[in-house]
Amino acid sequence: MAGEQDQPIYSIGAVARMLDIPASTLRAWEDRYSLISPRRSEGSHRLYSRGQVEKLRFIKSQIESGMSAADAHRLLSEDLGAGHLPVGSGSTHEVRPLVLIAERDSYAADLAEYFLRTEGCDVVVALDATQARLHFEERSPQIVLIDLLISGGAGFRLLNEFAARQTAHVVAVSAIDSADEAIRSGAAAFMRKPLEPLALVSTVRDLLGTSALVDRSREPRLQR
């Protein structure tokens, strides 16, 4: 299992879009039930883990089946106490989203491209900031993966530019823990390098709403 530092971190805005749950509802559930409490950045931004996103997806699936929010939270609490988490009704339809990888390390870019293509994504790679901007304008990717140290540290400028356009989910990656600053700058998610393949693929699918958040090598009733 991947270590804690390998897990992606999502902003509340990204979670709201992924699950189609208003941010105000997420905050209300946190205040009322105190079951899913994201950590806060230095700027008081809520930062959600993948595990918390899965729990919220489960709660949503129970509510959609007719359960009240209170009962859904109570069921989740019981399942967590029993040591497992039933999987929510994530979508499994096939898509071929375009992912732009803006990465200074060609070897790391090749690996990320391989795993994303294996999972059905189209991928375009940029090894510097100028190329990344050209691909972003010409190809209109749905997901952008940005190494914050690309082109001598131009990653944050790219992050600000692309996030401001609001046409793609931007995932910031770095070997240094820059999650707070990345989320504050508009990233939908942050991941630590080196990227763990399953976490990378899951993050892309999470943001696109095409993941049931399940490791395919395990039984479908359990979280990985």
Contacts of 205 (CB under 8 A, 6+ apart): 119, 211
Averaged over 154-165, what is the pLDDT? Answer: 95
Q: Are 55 and 76 in contact (CB under 8 A)?
A: yes
pLDDT per position as a tens digit, 109-144: 999 999 999 888 999 999 999 999 999 999 999 999
Amino acid at 145: L
Q: What's the confidence (pLDDT) of residue 194?
A: 92
**pLDDT-derived band at 82, boundaries 50, 70, 90:** low
Domain 4-81 has CATH 3.30.950.10: no
Rg of the chain taking only CA atoms, in angstroms: 17
Beta bridge partners of 190: 9, 172
In this structure, of 2-16, 75-89, 185-199, the range with the lowest mean pLDDT score is: 75-89
Question: What does the pLDDT read at residue 147?
Answer: 97
Residue 187 is encoded by which pair of tokens?
């990233």
Binned at pLDDT 50, 70 and 90, residue 210 comes out as low
Backbone phi, psi, residue 200, to 5°: -60, -50
- What is the residue extent of each domain of the chain? 4-81, 98-208
Region 194-213: what's the mean pLDDT? 82
Per the prediction, the chain carries an average pLDDT of: 84
CATH code 3.40.50.1000 for 98-208? no
pLDDT tier at 220, thresholds 50, 70, 90: very low
The DSSP-derived string for 63-119 is: HHTT--HHHHHHHHHHHHHTT--------------EEEEE-S-HHHHHHHHHHHHHT
* Prediction pTM value: 0.69
> pLDDT digit string (tens) for 19-68?
889 999 999 999 998 889 998 888 888 899 888 888 998 999 889 988 89
